[in-house]
Amino acid sequence: MSIVAENVTKHFGEFTALDDVSITVPDGSLTALLGPSGSGKSTLLRVIAGLEHADAGQVIVNDQDVTNQSVQERDIGFVFQHYAAFKHMTVRDNIAFGLRIRKTPRDQIRDKVKELMHLVQLQGMAHRYPSQLSGGQRQRMALARALAVEPKVLLLDEPFGALDARVRKELRAWLRRLHDEMHVTTIFVTHDQEEAMDVAEQIVVMNDGKIEQAGDPVDLYEQPKTEFVMSFIGEVNKLGDTFVRPHDLDVMLEPNGSTKEAMVERVVHLGFEVRVELALPDGEKLWAQLTRVEAESLELDNGSIVYVRPSRRKTFRDGRPHTEDIQALSQP
Amino acid sequence: MAIATMFVSLPFVVREVEPVLREIGTDQEQAASTLGANGWQTFWKITLPSIRWGVTYGVVLATARALGEFGAVSIVSSNVAGETETVPLFVARQYDLLGDHVAGAYAASIVLAILALMTLFSMNMIRRRDKVAETPTTIAVVPTFDKPTKEADG
């Protein structure tokens, strides 16, 4: 089921949460809505779900205009950031809720719940209450509850936001596998660019109630259309109006025609990656991302003088992106 | 009489329920609506069970207050004997008549005292259940995690 939102606008009082936003989510895809808090990504998801009503614009699911349908009629699965588990019900009753509302026969409910508990790896926890589950288990239960009614589309609002880093990574991989098995059209909201790149096939970057850019992860990283996307997806150094990725910064011990002198302020070892924090003579700060081997061969130390040069840089003059690749220069 | 009693006792229910409602928020209700539940279904299956101890506790408190209320009823209901009269008013009236009526006053007082004790007792019981309900780890733990065959039986 494809999802289309067309020219959606939503105000909360004076605040414009969504400003003429249009997105298309292809059938069976996994799309991330990515943006900082207040960018309108959750609001857009809630408009698609029917939990909020747009001031203007349409929501079309599977070529059918659902703009005026209530949330109950839309047949969606929704997962909340803070689980929204029914605290007074056991895991089994939580998962069965949607089916009971639909007056599904008991034996069918039993089979479906069993199947879902297996799918979300909560076997044997049927009689526990949400308060007896960990965060990750609660969120898996919430996902099973949403999937029980076989929704047309699955909408996840920062589903892993309240979990710790390790569980978040596990669930990410698990969601990815689940999606590969089920092929339900899925939209999930996140403010974590790594999470979006890891899980999604398509990323829609939002800022200030508008869409900055939509595309696959590689596209967004390599061909950002705006300064915002450039700096929100991946790390970046900003030098005047030029943007340089830390891994596109060559660090050398000898000057060369096009290099600039810089002083090493700090060397941070992060395992495979080494961050070198640098200061230019005019006081501007930047950092370079080196591999451990590169860093070791340079024998960098706090206070040593190095010469840096971007191998690729981007500018966004007149609102248009411009990429400049500087070919490998003759070695000194 | 009834209106005056409600006026002084119902706020107890509100005062008990309001913070509970505030604490549970609207997430669970929204989740129910995404699963297809309409307003009534959401209220009966989600909202009411979540606030049930708050409501019960509030009702018990309101009952206690209603039993003992004197001033508001006496002034608003004009205190007509046998018609717009509550037990505390009856006790006061009988006691004022002196003679044999004093016995009646004492009898009614004892009934009141017993009702008050019962209320206190049930309030304590509810309180205890409420605490247990908040931490269900202490009860209702069915150790099914090592017996995966007993799962999901409907």
Pick the more confident residue, A213 or A323: A213
Of B28, B45, B146, Cβ closest to residue A84: B28
Pinpoint the alpha helices (H) of chain A. Answer: 41-49, 91-101, 106-119, 135-148, 165-182, 193-199, 217-222, 227-232, 292-298
Helix H or strand E segment including A3: strand A3-12
Distance CA B16, CA A252 (A): 70
- CB proximity B143 to A under 8 Å: no
pLDDT grade for B16, boundaries at 50, 70 and 90: confident
Mean pLDDT of B85-106: 84
pLDDT at A185: 93
Query: Tokens 């070695």 map to which residue?
Result: A331
Chain A residues within 8 Å of chain B (Cβ atoms): 49, 51, 71-72, 75-78, 80, 82, 84-88, 92, 97-98, 101-102, 106-107, 109-110, 113-114, 117, 123-129, 131-132, 142, 145-146, 149
Contact A16, A52 (CB under 8 A): no
Distance CA A70, CA A52 (A): 10
Instruction: Write the CB contacts of A39 (distance below 8 Å, at least 6 apart in sequence).
Output: A206, A207, A208, A209
pLDDT grade for B151, boundaries at 50, 70 and 90: very low
Distance CA A79, CA A179 (A): 15
Check B27 against A80: CB less than 8 A apart: yes
Tens digits of residue pLDDT in A146-199 = 999 999 899 999 998 888 888 888 889 888 988 988 889 999 999 999 999 999
Question: Nearest Cα to B64, choosing from B131, B133, B129, B16?
Answer: B16
Distance CA B8, CA B11 (A): 7
Tens digits of residue pLDDT in B127-148 = 777 665 554 444 444 444 444 4
Which of A38-52, A107-121, A189-203, B99-113 has the lowest average pLDDT?
B99-113
ipTM exceeds 0.85: no
Mean pLDDT of A106-120: 92
Contacts of A127 in chain B (CB under 8 A): 140, 142, 144
Helix H or strand E segment including A11: strand A3-12
Question: What's the sign of the alpha-carbon dihedral A122, A124, A129, A132?
Answer: negative
Q: A135-148 and A106-119 helices cross at what angle (nearest 10)?
A: 140
Contact A173, A166 (CB under 8 A): no
| Residue A246 DSSP label | G
Contact A138, A89 (CB under 8 A): no
Which of A77-81, A290-294, B40-44, B122-126 has the lowest average pLDDT?
B122-126
Q: B87-97 and B101-134 helices cross at what angle (nearest 10)?
A: 160
pLDDT at B131: 63
Check A86 against B46: CB less than 8 A apart: yes
Helix (H, G, I), strand (E, B) or coil at B146: coil
pLDDT at A328: 55
